[in-house]
Amino acid sequence: MLRRGDRGPEVTALQQRLRQVWLYHGDINGQYTPRVEEAVRAYQWSRGIAEETGVYGPRTRARLETETRAP
């Protein structure tokens, strides 16, 4: 699971995937900022994913990975 404050290559991959679905337009810098959290929240809401809001957990990851290509 990834959440606000996390950093690293997994966050970079998340940012790139969110950009592919037009929900993230910020820097690709590997930092889980409030802007990334908001993009994850918007993605979860738009797909009806029942998971902790704004947190990139297993349900959100599985769905996003089916809709995007690996960075």
Q: From first to last of the 71 residues of the chain, give the pLDDT tens digit.
A: 999 999 999 999 999 999 999 999 999 999 999 999 999 999 999 999 999 999 999 999 999 999 999 98
Structure pTM?
0.95
- Do residues 4 and 33 lie in contact, with contact meaning Cβ atoms separated by under 8 Å? yes
Q: Determine contact, residues 42/19, Cβ cutoff 8 Å.
A: no
pLDDT at 53: 97
Query: If you count them, how many residues does the chain have?
Result: 71
Question: What pLDDT does residue 71 have?
Answer: 84
Tokens read off for 31: 């930092």
Quote the pLDDT of residue 66: 97
Three-class secondary structure of residue 58 per DSSP: helix
